[in-house]
Structure 1
């Protein structure tokens, strides 16, 4: 016997109720309001059925909780909702715990001296030539977030020339903010002296002055760095490049935290301050700004060289994004 459930059955029942009421009332008198009356009756019946369905669902959930409490979670496990993250397509480059090959590569790549405590971050911040006010403000807010960073104007100097000058001054990284139509829309991160170089698209930029209830005072000390959900080899490389901007201290003590949160290949940047309540038993987060979102467009070996450089990875949306559940970071 065919069993039906869900909204087709509800729609069928509603139509039956409406048909019966029209037949009954047609023998007595014409329905008041015509089509409006029929629609009102249909809404009422649908509301009643939704209420009944909701009560039955709550009853089933309560019974399942009682059984789980008495028999244990092994027999009645908690159901996890399906999301794009936990149903993502399998990727061969996902880094597993204790992956010897990945550990060897990370110990011998261009970024390894930073993690071996052989170099200290010294970051040069600049913009594209003839940048407008918003890009400069964003650079100075980066300077507020990143310790031991310096904002320098381009003045028509090419990026290759700027990289050679930064190498001579012992800078370890260069961050370049690009703009289009007077607003920041891109970011180039180049690790010195041997690369790699990452190209990002920047969007949803909010400066400190545009964020409500945002802390605008001076900040002190080094921040704690939080890197979330970078699971593939490409994601590990990008996360390590971002980590090179901030000093590392195994015995860190502080109240400031910088977060790079990767979700569906979009990297969200947040800057917070731990705020303690008067009694000292509770804490809260105070956002300091800025706030923006990055998406990786390309990763290149070596320093900036868009014409003859060797690219490790380039985003080609129409060829690579074959599914909503395919992610690269």
Structure 2
């Protein structure tokens, strides 16, 4: 079983490496093509291979794969590694395990119980003395799709880690302004219906990536579900709200059932928690970069625009 998991992981990384190489080559071809069409100077880092790529552009067929790499309308025709990560999304309901850091406080235990009710098909696991590799192996053996770890600081939940199984990605969020259900007066019972999801202001490439990580934690809801969960992005802080609604005299009445908190993404790793040290960093928050040259270099290196909002 361990050998099989290692082999599947190597195959996944090999596919992703080839995909990244093809996207990099296609990006260079697109830049050269735009320079030739607009009759502008070719960038210095492309001049050595400009003739080589230009000859290839002349004989290329604009099929679905090339259109996908170029970001055309048929871009969905090409399956990439992210499609591999969520290939069963919407077909099978997610199966989630939630745990905490070691020796959790009573308040953190209470918050994890509330999180378990938010995510359908979720179950809570006592961390105990288990190592992370043991937990990951148990999750893979039981077909768990997502593994969530909640951390705290002096009894206040302050960090949320979402690890998608079996190969990643792993997203790290800071958590603030936590208000638990137990702190809201006259709170109602929590519905166990599959919720409808609202995502507001997730427009950039990073925003779509973050939205997918959060969206696929929930199964597909039924049309008559009266439960709504909202993720609203404002200045890179994602506000979480949880409501139920009903119709009274043809008017819609909403009631908050909690909990409520804010999340901020600070890192995405292309791996799981048991091999996070060797995993590549897909994106990382770097808020203290004052020079545009450093921001431009790192954005080209990581493939993201560092100064973009979600």
- Normalised by the length of structure 1, the TM-score is 0.64
The Cα of 1:320 is off from its aligned counterpart by 7.0
The Cα of 1:200 is off from its aligned counterpart by 0.5
The Cα of 1:105 is off from its aligned counterpart by 5.6
Distance 1:134 1:190 in 2: 23
Distance 1:105 1:148 in 2: 28
Please report the RMSD computed on the Cα atoms of aligned residues, expressed in angstroms. 2.6
Q: Is 1:132 aligned with 2:102?
A: no
1:231 is aligned to 203
SS in 1 for 2:162: strand
Assess, with a 3 A threshold, how the Cα gap between structure 1 residues 133 and 210 changes in structure 2: closer, same or farther. same
Assess, with a 3 A threshold, how the Cα gap between structure 1 residues 310 and 107 changes in structure 2: closer, same or farther. closer
**Matches of residues 1-329 of structure 1 in structure 2 within 5 Å?**
100-101=74-75, 104=78, 109-115=83-89, 117-215=90-188, 217-249=189-221, 252-277=223-248, 279=249, 281-304=250-273, 305-319=275-289, 326-329=307-310
Write the deviation string for residues 238-271 of structure 1: whole angstroms up to 9, x where unpaired: 111111111014x532100111111111111111
Distance 1:106 1:228 in 2: 26
The Cα of 1:107 is off from its aligned counterpart by 8.2
SS in 2 for 1:316: coil
Distance 2:75 2:204 in 1: 13
Assess, with a 3 A threshold, how the Cα gap between structure 1 residues 242 and 98 changes in structure 2: closer, same or farther. farther
Assess, with a 3 A threshold, how the Cα gap between structure 1 residues 298 and 103 changes in structure 2: closer, same or farther. farther
Distance 2:91 2:123 in 1: 21
Write the deviation string for residues 46-74 of structure 1: whole angstroms up to 9, x where unpaired: xxxxxxxxxxxxxxxxxxxxxxxxxxxxx
> Is the Cα contact below 8 Å between 1:114 and 1:244 reproduced in 2?
no
> Is the Cα contact below 8 Å between 1:190 and 1:303 reproduced in 2?
yes
The Cα of 1:102 is off from its aligned counterpart by 6.7
Distance 1:275 1:326 in 2: 41
State the aligned residue count. 228
Distance 1:210 1:123 in 2: 25
Distance 1:303 1:185 in 2: 21
The Cα of 1:211 is off from its aligned counterpart by 2.2
Write the deviation string for residues 103-142 of structure 1: whole angstroms up to 9, x where unpaired: 7467853333133x34320000111111111211111111
Assess, with a 3 A threshold, how the Cα gap between structure 1 residues 256 and 321 changes in structure 2: closer, same or farther. farther
Assess, with a 3 A threshold, how the Cα gap between structure 1 residues 108 and 208 changes in structure 2: closer, same or farther. closer
The Cα of 1:153 is off from its aligned counterpart by 0.5
The Cα of 1:209 is off from its aligned counterpart by 1.8
Assess, with a 3 A threshold, how the Cα gap between structure 1 residues 172 and 182 changes in structure 2: closer, same or farther. same
Assess, with a 3 A threshold, how the Cα gap between structure 1 residues 133 and 314 changes in structure 2: closer, same or farther. same
SS in 2 for 1:189: strand
Q: Which runs of 5+ in 2 are unaligned?
A: 1-70, 296-305
Greater Rg by CA? 1
Distance 1:321 1:207 in 2: 40
